[in-house]
Amino acid sequence: MKSKDWLNRQKRDFYVKKAKKQGYLSRAAYKLIEINNKFKIIEHSNKLLEFGAAPGGWSQVALDINPKINITAIDLLDLKINHPNIKFFKEDYLKFDYSEKENYYDLILSDIAPNTTGHQSTDHLRITNMLFDIIELLDKVLINEGAFAAKIWKGSEEKDLVNKIKKKFELVSYFKPESSRKDSAEIFIVARNFIK
């Protein structure tokens, strides 16, 4: 989509207006609210690792729902929220030092997205590659019975990806939030009860 078209759509969008009004840093905030309304993954989590956290809408939602949660947020871009419970790392998710002792989490969220080319299958492959990396990391950083939710863009590798996730979790669901644009290939995978 051309950037002018994107800007026009943003101006009209109901959730963009709502986010502005309610002080959320992204329209994506509503997707996490919907995910959590259905799966209740945030209330009982203590330590959250967020891949692709900027500008910070999901971090805001996590703290609104559970003010005690501690968040480690990773992104190439700046986080637009400062909070004593957030540790922010401005770096590539592949460069983060996952071997540190304190790097274990009971909730991992990924809204990470590569720059889009507009070519659907190329974009699908790019986000899928990132998610394959992230799934490999789960064994290192997610505790037994922990939860994982991630955005994917539907396409040819989706089945392989979901099968990999299914091997690691007892419960795996697909979820398309109301706030996710109907015409987008985006869908969320919510996986619970990690088997370590």
Is-contact 79 53, C-beta < 8 A? yes
CB of 95 to ligand SAM, least distance (A): 8
| Closest to 160 measured CA to CA, from 191, 125, 186 | 125
Determine, following the binding rule CB under 6 A, whether residue 153 of this chain makes contact with ligand SAM. no
Determine, following the binding rule CB under 6 A, whether residue 19 of this chain makes contact with ligand SAM. no
- Pairing label, strands 47-51, 105-110: parallel
Q: Which one among 34, 85, 114, 168 touches ligand SAM, defined by CB under 6 A? A: 114
Determine, following the binding rule CB under 6 A, whether residue 77 of this chain makes contact with ligand SAM. yes
Determine, following the binding rule CB under 6 A, whether residue 29 of this chain makes contact with ligand SAM. yes
- Pairing label, strands 105-110, 142-153: parallel
Task: Report helix, strand or coil for 11.
Answer: helix
Determine, following the binding rule CB under 6 A, whether residue 25 of this chain makes contact with ligand SAM. yes
Determine, following the binding rule CB under 6 A, whether residue 131 of this chain makes contact with ligand SAM. no
CB of 177 to ligand SAM, least distance (A): 12
Kindly indicate which of the ranges 25-33, 97-105, 121-129, 184-192 contains the residues binding ligand SAM, using the contact rule CB under 6 A. Answer: 25-33
Q: How far apart (Å, rounded) are the C-alpha atoms in residues 177 and 31?
A: 6
Backbone angles phi, psi at 149, to 5 degrees: -135, 135
Determine, following the binding rule CB under 6 A, whether residue 42 of this chain makes contact with ligand SAM. no
Kindly indicate which of the ranges 13-21, 63-71, 73-81, 142-150 contains the residues binding ligand SAM, using the contact rule CB under 6 A. Answer: 73-81
Burial per residue of 95-116, b for 16 or more beta-carbon CB atoms within 10 angstroms, e otherwise: ebeeeeeeeebbbbbbbbbeee
Backbone angles phi, psi at 23, to 5 degrees: 80, 20
Catalytic residue list contains 11: no
Kindly indicate which of the ranges 53-61, 139-147, 154-162, 167-175 contains the residues binding ligand SAM, using the contact rule CB under 6 A. Answer: 53-61
- Helices marked H in 40-150 — which ranges? 57-65, 120-141
- Among the listed residues 17, 140, 151, 176, the single catalytic one is 151
Question: What are the catalytic residues?
Answer: 151
Binding residues for ligand SAM (CB under 6 A) = 25-26, 28-29, 52-58, 74-77, 92-93, 111-114
